[in-house]
Amino acid sequence: MSAPATNEQRADIFFYGFLIALVVISLGPIVLMLLTSLRLKVDIVSDTASLIFLPTMRNYETVLCNILWYTPQHVEYCNPTFGRALGNSLFVATVSTGITLVFGCMAAYGIVRFRFLGRGTVSLTTLLMRMVPPAVLLVPVFGIWSFNFCFGEDACLAGTHGGIVLIYVAMNLPFVIWILQSFIKQVPIQLEEAAKMDGANAFQVFFLVVLPVIKPGLAAAAIFTFRIAWNEFLLANALLDRSTRTVPVTLVNSLTEHDIDWGVIMATGMLLAIPPIIFTFIASRQIITGMTAGAVKG
């Protein structure tokens, strides 16, 4: 009687041991980044690096020196680049998420309720958009944004937040429409008809009846759009100038310096990684759905 039990136990030990190993491999590099960001430069370079060290917030203070409410004592020269880039990143990601959601929501509603383009068209567009590498958009966007889309003499879209927001909105729209239309399909038409009966017009029906019902879809779409705008490097690097740069651009620029201060860089990387990490904990299931958008039924 006891023999099969031990066999099972052995299988259990193997199974959970294996699972723990996978978790360690998956999280290891992220934890290493976190630990490095909490170390002083001397600790990182020293030969006797150990797991035991005195964690310090100094690297974060260096990165954020110009937006902290106090002046960190160890910072001799406050480099405002990172603080400014953080503000730029937040602004660009938030605004492009907002616009994408509003436009995408309206379009998805139009497609579903007015039986416009078929579901196949939306899926195919989403897939085709997913296929386009950002590198491919580099040449045309650079050319158009700096020469064609200009207002007056020297004011062009290149270098402005508006320019980068426009391209992020366009990049994300097909996906957002795809994911939202599957949610809108589930809104019972009777609900809308009742509102209609009470004298609401099409726009009131949309904003007051449909929008509240599809909140989960909106959340998933928002997470995706925000993440792409927040993480994107290539187009931001080509389009933005010194004062409008986002965090990924400044991060890569600081890597070309001779004497890399790993603590400070890892602190910046951590700051860049925190929003996506939070999103992952909120909505892991929707993220997987989103990653297969257009290829599977939504």
Partner 1 sequence: MVSHELTTPDLKSERRVRHAPRFFNMNRLTPYFFLAPAGAVLAVALLYPIGYMIYASFLSWNPSQRIHEADWIGLRNYTNLLKDPNFIESFFVTLKFASVVVTLEMVIGVGLALLLDRKIRGMSVLRTIFILPMMIAPIVVGLMWRYMYHPSVGILNRTLKGWGLDPIPWLSDPDWALPSVIIADVWQWTPFIFILSLAALQSLPQSALEASRIDGASTWQQIIHIKLPLMLPVLIIAGLLRLIDAFKVLEVILVLTNGGPGLSTEILSLRISRTTSEFRELGEAAAMSNYLLLLLLIITLGMFLFNKVMDMRQQRLRAAAQEAG
Binding to partner 1 (CB under 8 A) within 127-156 occurs at 127-144, 147
Instruction: Please state the closest distance from residue 244 (CB atom) to partner 1, in A.
Output: 18
**98 contributes a contact to partner 1 by CB under 8 A:** no
Whether the CB-CB separation of 92 and 78 falls below 8 Å is answered with no
Q: How far is CA 39 from the centre of its chain?
A: 27
Contact stretch for partner 1 (CB under 8 A) within 58-66, 70-78, 114-122, 213-221: 114-122
Instruction: Please state the closest distance from residue 3 (CB atom) to partner 1, in A.
Output: 20
Phi, psi of 156 (to 5 degrees): -110, 170
Number of residues that bind partner 1 (CB under 8 A): 92
Select from 68, 103, 209, 211 the one that contacts partner 1 (CB under 8 A). 103
- Nearer residue to partner 1 within complex by CB, 41 or 72: 41
Strands 155-156 and 150-151: antiparallel
- Nearer residue to partner 1 within complex by CB, 36 or 97: 36
The Cα 220–Cα 9 span in angstroms is 40
Instruction: Please state the closest distance from residue 73 (CB atom) to partner 1, in A.
Output: 26
The Cα 174–Cα 127 span in angstroms is 9
The Cα 29–Cα 49 span in angstroms is 16
The Cα 178–Cα 149 span in angstroms is 29
**40 contributes a contact to partner 1 by CB under 8 A:** no
The Cα 287–Cα 127 span in angstroms is 16
Of residues 58 through 97, those in contact with partner 1 by CB under 8 A are none
Of residues 242 through 261, those in contact with partner 1 by CB under 8 A are 248, 251-252, 255
The Cα 109–Cα 68 span in angstroms is 43
The Cα 221–Cα 175 span in angstroms is 8
Q: Look up residue 24 and give its two tokens.
A: 């360690």
Select from 19, 57, 191, 194 the one that contacts partner 1 (CB under 8 A). 19
Contact stretch for partner 1 (CB under 8 A) within 56-64, 76-84, 214-222, 280-288: 280-288
- Nearer residue to partner 1 within complex by CB, 75 or 99: 99
Element containing residue 15 per DSSP (H, E): helix 2-37
**CA of 273: how far to CAs of 114, 164, 195, 256, in Å?**
40, 21, 43, 20
Instruction: Please state the closest distance from residue 71 (CB atom) to partner 1, in A.
Output: 28
**161 contributes a contact to partner 1 by CB under 8 A:** no
- Nearer residue to partner 1 within complex by CB, 72 or 124: 124
Of residues 224 through 243, those in contact with partner 1 by CB under 8 A are 227, 230-231, 233-234, 238
